[in-house]
Structure 1
């Protein structure tokens, strides 16, 4: 059966993104000429981000927020202003090709009850996990941080993050990163968009939880790749903030945890796992290679572990 590909609305939230936004928008130029919609929601940038956007895609709809009230709120503003039948959430540091986006839109038209996610690849090649997987329930976090999830085998051993050998073909997942998600507008409206309870991080995982709970699916398509230089969406230096894991803890505690004891164990397991990664990165720093980068990663993960233990 042939499925008509409707108009796509690309929603891109920017904040001091001048160093990356041109790479993100370049593949969308032809798509905009073909009738797809590009919406830039800017969270009060103080650089040349919007000048670059207007020059590359003059037809882009630019929404200037007077304040930076967070990623999710900006996304919801962009979607509310959209006219397309399909929403494409795209980080300003995510880069695809016109063909890859056309494939994603086609796949979405063929699966109107699914959120479609591409395979996210990282230019630095430091992340060995897939940016998709299982909801952060206690068992999945234990499997991930114990290393058992690395084993090839049945799906009940999969952790919060999948590994590449677990995502070699199209499959359903319980969450996928919001760096690039393709969502039928009707599905978005039915589920209710992104939660604004956090300034940034974990809103994509919480959204996918509501998607699956409502009877829809989240579909990962490893054959379609989008590059994402994680953590470079702004001109700011790589952050030591632990919002990504603290928000995940709050999501688990408020939405998924069966008991206070489970919540406490979750916190301990994750904190210990982050600390073990800090120790591993410290060891990498004493071997030939990029010593300063590995030391920085070690310090970051120690900070993440400490913040996790202190989370309330």
Structure 2
């Protein structure tokens, strides 16, 4: 039995991903994962159970949100060393999970490691990131809706100069089960978005480090589930950003948290207006 088969259990949260989910599960099996838990966050019966083969299917009966869905899935998983968390529209490349397992087994001070995420067109998704300071966060929030590739957003979506990272995308990562459980898993106050950043923040508060491996590669279709509820996802995104600012801000920065909330609220209004105009145009 390989290290992956012996040490890894995968949790995939599904929300109407259909064939993408089938491909995700197949790629996990191809990488040696024998235990796979799928959480059905859509309507009862929306997950294509018959096409998935031998998986543990958890049916909450409602959309719990991403982090809460992972937590429910982990509760149904056996006690293995590592937990692989994945979106349903991710395809894991050959050898990626073995690489992630090797990383954590050889870096005892790291709790979590994320792979390099690429899009279907082979472009790299910026999944390795830093915790933004107040000025970087503010500039990113203000400029990103109008200037997607502005310097603040590029810096926010990049690792530190030495290649180290503070957090990685929740689309796919491997975490030590013991560390995940020690912090209570994902903070379920985050319905969608920033739950990955909050998870890594909470791990850092316990003294753990977060890593990234460019040798482990996955493809993320991105947005398969979000496309069903664009407006709700916009609101959830901004609500989570506000929550993380209040959670992580301390000292003088906390005095600026109300201003950050105002900036994010204004950005949400602009984003919703833009979405409405684009819907009318189409």
Deviations 1:88-108 (A, max 9, x none): 000001111242122222222
Q: What is the aligned counterpart of 1:95 among 69, 91, 94?
A: 91
For the residues of structure 1 that align with 2:256 and 2:277, how far apart are their CA atoms? 23
For the residues of structure 2 that align with 1:302 and 1:271, how far apart are their CA atoms? 19
Q: What are the equivalent positions in structure 2 for 1:61-100 lying under 5 Å apart? A: 61-83=56-78, 84-100=80-96
Distance 1:43 1:142, change over 3 A: closer
Question: Which residue does the alignment assign to 2:104?
Answer: 108
Does 2:260 align with 1:266?
yes
The answer to whether the 8 A contact 2:119-2:221 is kept is: yes
Question: Which residue does the alignment assign to 2:147?
Answer: none
Does 2:243 align with 1:250?
yes
User: Which blocks of at least 5 consecutive residues in structure 2 are unaligned?
Assistant: 144-149
Distance 1:122 1:269, change over 3 A: farther
Question: Which residue does the alignment assign to 1:8?
Answer: 8
For the residues of structure 1 that align with 2:184 and 2:25, how far apart are their CA atoms? 27
For the residues of structure 2 that align with 1:302 and 1:106, how far apart are their CA atoms? 49
1:63: Cα distance to partner? 1.3
The answer to whether the 8 A contact 1:113-1:187 is kept is: no
Larger Cα-atom Rg: 1
Question: Which residue does the alignment assign to 1:191?
Answer: 183
TM-score, with length taken from structure 1: 0.72
TM-score, with length taken from structure 2: 0.78
CA RMSD of aligned residues (A): 3.3
Q: What is the aligned counterpart of 2:118 among 113, 116, 121?
A: 121
Q: Secondary structure at the match of 2:156?
A: coil
User: Which blocks of at least 5 consecutive residues in structure 1 are unaligned?
Assistant: 151-157, 279-296, 304-312
1:178: Cα distance to partner? 0.6
1:22: Cα distance to partner? 1.6
Q: Secondary structure at the match of 1:182?
A: strand
For the residues of structure 2 that align with 1:69 and 1:243, how far apart are their CA atoms? 13
Question: Which residue does the alignment assign to 1:56?
Answer: 52
Q: Secondary structure at the match of 2:58?
A: strand
